[in-house]
Amino acid sequence: MDIDWKSLPFGYIKTDYNVRTYFRDGKWGSLELSSSEHVDIHIAATSLHYGQEAFEGMKAFMGKDGKIRLFRWEENAKRMQMSARGILMAEVPIEVFKKAILKVVRMNKRFVPPYGSGASLYIRPVLFGTGAEVGVKPADEYLFMVFVTPVGPYFKEGFRPVKMLLTKEFDRAAPQGTGRFKVGGNYAASLTSMKKAHEKGFANVLFLDSKEKKYIDECGPANFFGIKNNTYITPKSDSILPSITNMSLITLAEDMGLKTERRPVEESELGTFEEVGACGTAAVISPIGQIVDDETGKEFNYGTEPGPISTKLYNKLIAIQTGDEEDKFGWVEVVE
Ligand SMILES: *Cc1c(COP(=O)(O)O)cnc(C)c1O
C-alpha cells in the first residue's frame, strides 16, 4: 500500500475492513467483520424510501508516541442514540457502539495516517432501517455499521479564512423538525443551497432560522460561533445539531478565561463580532473571513487572517486530540 499521507483528499479510500451488526427480532446480533464495501438490503427498506437513516463522524489520530487516540467517542454514541429516538429507529447500545469503533480502528491500523501529516482516520458509523415496509412506519430491522477511511485536512488551503453566503432562500431544517438529529435527510435538504454557494465562490451557506429568518442557525454542516469582548458566543436553537467540537471549544474557551454564551444570535449582530467561525469534526474550526448577504449584497468582513482566539482554540483542540497536550478533561481514549 502506498498512500501519500500529505496529499490525502477529504474523501473515501478503501480500507481492509468494516464492521456490522443487525437488529432483528427486537435485539442486536453479534458484531461481524466484513471486507466487502457493499451491503445487500431489501428493496422496500425504510431507509431507502422514508429516510430512516442516521450517521456519525469522528476521527482517530496517531500521536507522537505511536498511540492511536479517539476523541470523545461516547458523545457520538449518545448523539446517535438521540438521532435514533428522533426518527424511531432501534438505538445502538453505548457498549455496542464502543466495541464496533474499537474493532474497526484496530483492524485498519495501517490506515491511520502518521503523526504530523495533518491527516487522520475518519470513522463513519451509520444506522439505517433495513426492514421492508411500504406503508409509512418505522422498520423492525436495522443495520448498524462502521467504516473508516483516511482523510486529509478538510480544506486543502489549511487553516485559512473562508467565505460564507448568507441566504434566506433555503432552509436546512424546520424549527421543530429533524435539524437537531444527525440524519441524512438534513443533508439532502442542504445540497441545493451548498451548490449555489459553491457556484458563487463561497465555501458554504450560513443558514438563518427557518421561521423568522432573523437568527443565525448553522453554517453549512457545521456550527457557528462568534467572538467579541472576550466572549465566545454560539447560537441556541432547536434546529441546530449539537456539535461535539463546539461543546469542546466552549469548555476550552472557558478554560482560557473567556466568557461563553449559548443564546439566539440575530443576523444584525454579525457586524459586531471580532472573529467568526464554523466548527465541526471535519475541519475543527474554519475561520470565516467574510459573510455576504445574498439578498442585499451587504458584506461583513473579519480579515484575511484567522483571528487570535480562533487560532488558539484550534491549536489547543488539535493538541489534545493528537496527544501533544495533556488531556485534563478526560476526552481522549487510547486504542490499545
Ligand atoms: C456533524 C454536524 C456538525 C458537527 O458536529 P461535530 O460533533 O462537531 O462533528 C454540525 N452541524 C451539523 C448539521 C452536523 O451534521
Which is it for strands 27-28 and 53-55: parallel, antiparallel or unpaired? unpaired
pLDDT digits (tens, 9 = 90+) for 221-247: 999 999 999 999 999 999 999 999 999
Range with lowest mean pLDDT among 9-13, 91-95, 111-115, 287-291: 9-13
pLDDT, mean of residues 29-44: 98
CA–centroid distance, residue 245 to ligand 1 (Å): 8
For residues 114-132, average pLDDT: 96
Where residue 156 falls among pLDDT bands split at 50, 70, 90?
confident
Q: Residue ranges of the domains in the chain?
A: 5-151, 162-322
The answer to whether 89 and 127 are in contact (CB under 8 A) is yes
Rounded to whole angstroms, the Cα distance separating 151 from 149 reads 6
Q: b or e along 157-190 (b: 16 or more beta carbons within 10 Å of the residue's beta carbon)?
A: eebebbbbbbbeebbbbeeebbbbbbbbbbeebb
pLDDT at 297: 95
Dist. CA 214–CA 61, nearest whole Å: 39
Give the pLDDT mean for 252-275.
98
**What per-residue confidence (pLDDT) applies to 199?**
97
Nine cell digits for residue 297: 449584497
Residue to mutate, 241, 249, 251, 284, ligand 1, most ligand atoms under 8 Å from C-beta: 241
Mean pLDDT of 320-327: 96
Cα–Cα dist 248/77, whole Å: 16
For the cut 80, the answer to whether the pLDDT of residue 66 exceeds it is yes
Q: Which atom of ligand 1 is nearest to the CA of 172?
A: 13
Q: Binning pLDDT at 50, 70 and 90, where does residue 1 land?
A: low
pLDDT at res. 298: 96
- Which grid cell is 240? 441546530
Say which residue the cell 458554504 belongs to: 204
Q: What sign for the dihedral angle of Cα 83, 86, 89, 94?
A: positive
Name the grid cell of 150: 483516511
Residue in the structure block whose three cell numbers are 470513522: 123
pLDDT above 80 (res 139): yes
Domain 162-322 homologous superfamily, CATH: D-amino Acid Aminotransferase, subunit A, domain 2 (3.20.10.10)
Instruction: For residue 316, report the distance from its CA to the centre of ligand 1, in Å.
Output: 19
Tell me how far apart the alpha carbons of residues 149 and 247 are, in angstroms, rounded to a whole number. 25
Ligand 1 geometric centre to CA of 25 (Å): 32
Q: Which atom of ligand 1 is nearest to the CA of 182?
A: 15
Closest ligand 1 atom number to CA of residue 179: 13
Residue 129: predicted pLDDT: 98
Classify domain 5-151 at the CATH topology level: D-amino Acid Aminotransferase; Chain A, domain 1 (3.30.470)
> What is the average pLDDT across 263-273?
97
Alpha carbon distances (Å) from 193 to 18, 172, 203, 280, 299: 32, 9, 11, 19, 19
Give catalytic residue positions.
182
- Cell matching residue 87: 426518527
For ligand 1, the distance from its centroid to the CA atom of residue 280, given in whole angstroms, is 5
Q: What is the pLDDT of residues 187-197, one digit of tens each?
A: 999 999 999 99
| Ligand 1 pocket at CB < 6 A | 57, 182, 218, 221-223, 241, 243-246, 280-281
Q: How confident is the model at residue 70 (pLDDT cuts 50, 70, 90)?
A: very high
**pLDDT of 131 over the 70 cut:** yes
Reference 205, options 191, 189, 194, 217; nearest CA is 194
> 3-state DSSP call for residue 26?
coil
Interatomic CA distance for residues 312 and 87, integer angstroms? 38
Are the beta carbons of 280 and 71 closer than 8 angstroms? no
Q: Would you list the DSSP string of 245-257?
A: HHHHHHHHHHHTT
3-state DSSP call for residue 81? Answer: helix
Residue nearest to atom 10 of ligand 1 (CA): 222
Residue 207 has pLDDT above 80, yes or no: yes
- pLDDT score of 155 more than 80: no
